[in-house]
Structure 1
Amino acid sequence: MAVKTSSRLWGQVNGADVFLFRIGNESGAYVELTNYGAAIVSIVVPDKQQQLENVVVGFPDLERYLNDTCYIGSTIGRYANRISNARFRLDGKIYQLDANDGKNSNHAGKSGFNYRVFTAETIDNGVVMTLTSADGDGGYPGTLELMVIYTWSDDNELMVSYKATTDKATIANFTNHAYFNLSAFKSKIYNHKLTVLSEHIVDSYEDYTPSGAIIPAKQKAFNNDKLGDKFKIDESQVEGLNLFYVINREAEDNTLANAALLIDETSGRSLEVYTDYPGIFLYTGDYLSSTAPTHTGKPAKPFDALCLECQHYPDSINHPNFPQAILQAGDVYDQSILYKFGTI
């Protein structure tokens, strides 16, 4: 097989071994992952001149991840995005979560999977990472078993699959929080062109929790539009985009729906996103900041990169009109995201 996976010990967290994995293909393009937070560390892909460069925010050592507050590259769980008032009712019982975003819970608060060391094993073309989350972890019901499967292909496709089971009804919503910059950080994201295969967004309040309405995207729609044309560029005052887009077409059996296309014309790099999740959350990195330098040698700053987080509807449990993300005992959570890198 042309794709090969290697690993090396990267450090320890609370006595647990943390590894850095590399999955490379014959062209020299590769992905680096770590089992701390089941995170993407780097994605090194060619530009139109066949120059290989990293296109995601990441850190060159484990210690910097331990102090990260921006979920850089991490697996998000138990529930991606916000739960309003950090509480929900399920089967007649109210569950209280960690309020880490004002009165709301975001990305599961301090119990988030981005802080956990996963068990990991390599396969020929990837890495399988697993985690057990105990009943009551972060306030969530049910003992949850999560498997995150990363694979890399000769065609520079990174597939991320989530499989989970629970012994008690719970809510579950996993995604990856990679921050992309296809220019390899030679410029900010303002000139990146984005297409989102969506005509509707979830309306939200100023604290980014949903109002409950699903509305036409109108001026927030993206059809090969420059990001900088869609929001006010003022790095001293945050005015980017934090929006959940409802994907136009539901994934059919055994296929993933086209969700988004990101292009950097200068480098010629492109990123296609496919998923069987119902939506994609666009976050333009408004609050991105790192005290430690990233791979670039400099700390991350607002609008250095953006997230395209495929996921279930935010706060769906508190909005009966939304498609629900309830995982029942005996059922299997099975969702995937495909990031396909290319050139134009």
Structure 2
Amino acid sequence: MNVSLVEDEFGHIEDDKGQQKTIKRYTWTNINKVSIQVITYGGYITSIKIPDKNGVIEDIAIGFKNIDGYLSPANRFFGATIGRVANRIKDGKMTVEGVAYSLATNNGPNHLHGGIKGFDKVIWESYVKGTTLYLSYHADDMEEGYPGDILATVSFQLTAENDFLIDYKATTTKPCPVNLTNHSYFNLAGNGKGSAELYKHIVSLNADKITEVDSQGIPTGNLPSVANTVFDLRVPKVLGDVIHKVPGAPGFDHNFCITRGSEQCNAFVARVAHTGSGRVMEVYSNQPGVQFYTSNFLPEGDDLMGKDGFIKKHGGFCLETQKYPDSINHKSFPNSILYPGEQYHHTTTFRFIVEKQ
């Protein structure tokens, strides 16, 4: 069999009703010795093991050994499924169809990644068909301040060609913004290798503009060209050569506007390579943007223990495919409102490659 999928337990947690719930873990393995794990709590990708050019297998996904780490307040969405709305909404305020809503604020005065209890902090229902895992979650009307009941389903599948396919779908009973994503942190040298190896990564992004942000990471509404700036990653750059040149910030935490054709088709988003190991990751998606984040706000000291040592600042990178941040408050940005009778559909492919040379 080219790809296998097995289920086991990752731990137990108490739900909102005080009942003990089993957290399931699903593990794919393919003929190339690529292995990926997802759990039903928060839809977290907890492990991505990839051989290097010499056949040495490393886990390239930053995270924790057990469920306690993912329940900890120190967890920074390491591998989480994010919703209802990824990224920031200014002041937690939005107006939908003429009705004003106040959302939970959990990032200073702003709303981030779905709120205080977003989709990353719930137990998802699971179903397996063949080697595809389906996770589903029903969010109630006004949960975290959002209107409408939402039924979200995310499918995960590893192929024999080392593609990891994530497919998001959602329906709603009231008009509401929806913007799901995955928040994995990657270090292609190995998740415990830290900033020294991260700086050696070679990054390219298929984006000719970014969403300009203020000091709080909130879009101003301007979409400046990346030409002649540190954000021009259309030509591959060594991350260590550019990460410290980002103006007013300790690294990248910006939405890049993907150069694409039809939103119905997957477009090339990014390519990241680590020459020392030969590991390469490419990203493809039908979404108009991607948040490139370089772990700027992780601790600098030995404060956060991960599965392979301490997790620190600039220890990993994220590529979160998405609608533009705060789209609900910018009419010129791609529409993020889902209406009853419509289906939200977001596809992302993470392609893992091992270059022998």
TM tier, shorter chain?
over 0.9
Give the alignment partner of residue 260 of structure 1, picking from 249, 263, 270: 270
Structure 1 residues 204 and 252: CA distance shift in structure 2, 3 A: closer
1:41-52 aligned within 5 A: 41-52=46-57
The aligned counterpart of 1:53 is 58
Give the deviation of 1:64 after TM superposition.
1.0
8 Å CA contact 1:203–1:215 kept in 2: the answer is yes
Structure 1 residues 99 and 120: CA distance shift in structure 2, 3 A: same
- Paired with 2:135 and 2:21, the residues of 1 have a C-alpha distance of 14
The aligned counterpart of 1:229 is 241
The aligned counterpart of 1:95 is 101
1:289-331 per-position Cα deviation (integer Å, ceiling 9, x unaligned): 49552221x1210100010000001001101111111000111
8 Å CA contact 1:29–1:45 kept in 2: the answer is yes
- Say whether residues 1:214 and 2:223 are aligned partners: yes
The aligned counterpart of 1:244 is 255
The aligned counterpart of 2:2 is 2
Give the alignment partner of residue 84 of structure 1, picking from 69, 72, 90: 90
Report the secondary structure of 1:158's partner residue.
strand
8 Å CA contact 2:263–2:288 kept in 1: the answer is no
8 Å CA contact 1:64–1:292 kept in 2: the answer is no
- Say whether residues 1:304 and 2:315 are aligned partners: yes
- Paired with 1:152 and 1:45, the residues of 2 have a C-alpha distance of 12
Give the deviation of 1:232 after TM superposition.
1.7
Task: Give the partner amino acid of 1:294.
Answer: G
- Paired with 2:275 and 2:260, the residues of 1 have a C-alpha distance of 27
Give the deviation of 1:208 after TM superposition.
0.3
The aligned counterpart of 1:342 is 353
Give the alignment partner of residue 146 of structure 1, picking from 147, 152, 160: 152
Report the secondary structure of 2:224's partner residue.
strand
Report the secondary structure of 1:210's partner residue.
coil
Give the deviation of 1:130 after TM superposition.
0.5
Following superposition, which runs of at least 4 residues in structure 1 exceed 4 angstroms of deviation?
289-292
8 Å CA contact 1:22–1:33 kept in 2: the answer is yes
- Say whether residues 1:74 and 2:74 are aligned partners: no
Report the secondary structure of 2:334's partner residue.
coil
8 Å CA contact 2:4–2:29 kept in 1: the answer is yes
Give the deviation of 1:72 after TM superposition.
0.6
8 Å CA contact 1:58–1:72 kept in 2: the answer is yes
1:12-57 per-position Cα deviation (integer Å, ceiling 9, x unaligned): 2222221111011122211011011001001011111122211110
Instruction: Calculate percent identity across the aligned residue pairs.
Output: 30
- Paired with 1:280 and 1:327, the residues of 2 have a C-alpha distance of 20
- Say whether residues 1:195 and 2:204 are aligned partners: yes
The aligned counterpart of 2:193 is 186
The aligned counterpart of 1:331 is 342
Give the deviation of 1:127 after TM superposition.
1.3
The aligned counterpart of 1:13 is 13
- Paired with 2:2 and 2:304, the residues of 1 have a C-alpha distance of 35
8 Å CA contact 1:166–1:328 kept in 2: the answer is yes
Give the alignment partner of residue 26 of structure 1, picking from 24, 31, 42: 31
Report the secondary structure of 2:244's partner residue.
coil
Task: Give the partner amino acid of 1:130.
Answer: S
More displaced, 7-16 or 171-180? Answer: 7-16
Q: Structure 2, unaligned stretches of length 5 or more?
A: 15-19
Give the deviation of 1:285 after TM superposition.
0.5
